Each structure stands twice: as structure tokens, then as C-alpha cells.
Amino acid sequence: MEVKLHDIGEGMHEADITHFFVKPGDRVKADDPIVEVQTDKMTAEIPAPRAGIIKEITVEAGQTISVGTTVIIIEEDSPNQTVDVSTSSKTSNGVQTIQIPAPTSIETSSKKKRILASPYTRKLAREKGIDIELVHGTGPAGRITDEDVANFAIVDTSEIESLNNTSLEKAVQPESEKPKTQIVQNVIPYRGRRKQIGKKMQQSLYTVPHCTHFEEVDVTELIALREQLKKDGVNISATAFFIKALSLSLKEFPIFNARLHDEKEEIHLIHDHHVGLATDTEDGLVVPIIRNVEQKSLKQIHADMKELTGKAIENTLTATDVTGGTFTISNVGPLGGSIGATPIINHPEVGLMAFHKTKKMPIVNDKDEIVIRSMMNVSMSFDHRVVDGATAVKFTSYFAKLIGNPTFMLLEMI
């Protein structure tokens, strides 16, 4: 049987081979992980479709392959046990007895026990040179966590004892005897998620005529409302309010929740609001999707956002978690982004809105009084093939109105 790379995500065309869990000759069971791949959105394990023996690995780790490429060939186990007739003998009564070799124990074969750990945890162990099978898992059902790997250490005393005085003297060589100049070249491989993100951004920038509109949003009343809710024991993040206000804005301006089909010369308006949340992780940018925001309460949005962000950081997002988005947001305020940006649209979506750092500023109100207000800049990038600038201004102004007056937003939710 040929195990091929299949489409594990919307619009996926290729993936990078990051790690093999098996080698030729290993025996695997159905659903055992055999290879780990990296797309622009997620890290995923490809399981064995059936039990058998790994006959051949046709690609190499680090290689970029397209969907449909054969990765591994599995040879199905023979259903019948081979009998060695040379071990047969006859008893005194003429009855022939045959000694059948005992089946090879799975414990003594090259196939090791199944380890419960996320792809990111496995990668962490590989980078630290740790055999993950030696790590004791403290998570649910013995699952190995990132902390378990970080706390694990192996000391090879035989290597320490083999150090002689000469090597020790070299190890503590005086600074004055060391070379005065050291040239260090650090090469970062351009592959895996970084490469996939690059291709995605390049496709979007070359396909979509980007235009970015900037808006100032007064979040003073929203901050006051959140503080009041905290006193009442309800903690809802500001981003949850932003997402809900965005959904109400998409309802008012459905053209931003759409997709352009160039070949058909059609713009399809999408009813459901599946909002992508751009999330920064150690392996790069990922965009988990909060689904059907238009049907959810602020509490539900906050809970979904917290769960998906956690999965993104732990690198445990599934294909369902990262596909099917209709609009994307990027909250760069906590990172210190306070002025503005020109975000690249998550193609084939029509728009992307970025929220920047909130700052207290002196503002002149309607009474010509100088007051201190909490202000946040918003960057709104949109596909100028689908939407005109005037519509984008109306869209962001409506969003700013909802955020600036949370009571009005709550009325729109009724």
C-alpha cells in the first residue's frame, strides 16, 4: 500500500516533511503515526492506514512535496505463519510434530510503544536531543507535555569519566589564549511553516490589490464596562468585544464577508461569520477560526478564543480549526503595535482588521473641552476589486461606533 500526502486543509497544495516516526522494517498498527508534515497552517501527523511493515520511505525529511506524492510504502503482514519443515520430527508412534517459531514480540521489534504527545512536544524533544520515550508524562492519560520535556535531563556519567586532564585543561583554557576573533554564521532554514507562510503572503499580495484604511476608535466606555463586569465576576477580554462588534458590522456590510470567484465573475456573499484570529506562535503565524460568531454570546466568543489560542501555542490545532474563515482579525496591541500597519489579507477573504495598542490621549470633545480618553488605532485592509474605499470607511466607522458605545452594541445584539 502506498501512503500518499492528502489534502488536510482547505486549498492545501503542498507540505514539508518534518519528521518520520518509523524506518524501513518497522512494524506498525493501523492509526499509528508514521510521518509528521508541516503546512502553512498547522503541523499534522499522518497515521498508518493499516497494519503492516514499512517497506520503503520514498521522500526525505525536510523535503517539500505536493499533494498526491507517495511518502511511504507499507507491506501488509502475511495472514499465514510460515512453517519451517526442517524442524519437524516424528515420535515413536509415527506421528509427525512441527515446531512453529514463536511470533516476534512487539516489545522486541523495532516498533516502540505509542507515545501520547503533541507534534510540537515531539519537535521540542528532538531539538533538545531527548528520546521522548524516556520522558515521564504528567498530563492526562500519561500525555507528555512541553514542561515534561523541559524538565527532563539525561546525564551520561560514562562520558564524564572519560574526560582526561588534558581535555579539562582545554575546556578551561584562559581567555587570553583563545582566538581573538570568532566568526559565527547562523543559517536559518527557509522551510516548514515559515516557507508556507511566505508562499501564502506572496500569493495574496500578488493576487489582491490591497488598500488599507486607518481609523481611531475611542475605547474608554468599553474599558469602563469591562471593569464593571470584572467587579461582578465576569471576565471578558476586549478582543471578544471586538470580534462581536466586527460580526455586527459584517451583518450591516455583508460585502466584507464574501469571496470573489474570478473565473465565474461572481462575488459570493457568505451568511456565516467565521472569524480568523491571527496568533503568534514559536513556529510562526497561525489563524484558528472562531465559527458562527453571529450566533454566539460574548462569553462563548471569549471561551472559544481562549481555547483556540491555547491549541495554537501548543501546536495541537486540527484542520477543522484553521479552515473555512471568512474574515480575519489581528490584535497586535499587546505586542506594542500602537500606530498602524498595512496587513496582508488572508486570501481568498476580502478584508482583515488589525487592532493596535490603546493609549490615553487628550481629546477635544463636542463642548470644546480637552478630556483624556483611551484611544486605539485600527488598520483595515480590503480587496479593492470587491470593495470601494467609501464603503470601507463606512464599515470601520460603524465598527468604531459600536466599540465607542457598548450600550448601542448590546442593543444591536438583541
Pairing of strands 351-364, 370-383: antiparallel
Per residue, the 3-state secondary structure of the chain, as one string, reads CEEECCCCCCCCCEEEEEEECCCCCCEECCCCEEEEEECCCCEEEEECCCCEEEEEECCCCCCEEECCCEEEEEECCCCCCCCCHHHCEECCCCCEECCCCCCCCCCCCCCCCCCCECHHHHHHHHHCCCCHHHCCCCCHHHCECHHHHHCCCCCCHHHHHCCCHHHHHHHCCCHHHCCCCCCCCCCCCCCHHHHHHHHHHHHHHHHCCEEEEEEEEECHHHHHHHHHHHHCCCCCCHHHHHHHHHHHHHHHCHHHCEEEECCCCEEEECCCCCEEECEEECCEEECCEECCHHHCCHHHHHHHHHHHHHHHHHCCCCCHHHCCCCEEEEECHHHCCCCCCCCCCCCCCCEEEEEEEEEEEEEECCCCCEEEEEEEEEEEEEECCCCCHHHHHHHHHHHHHHHHCHHHHHHHHC
Query: Is 274 an active-site residue?
Result: no
Neighbour tally for 83: CB within 10 Å: 12
Q: Report the amino acid identity of residue 273.
A: H
Give backbone dihedrals phi and psi of 315, rounded to 5 degrees, phi first: 60, 45
Q: Which of 271, 273, 347, 384 is catalytic?
A: 384
Report the catalytic residues: 384
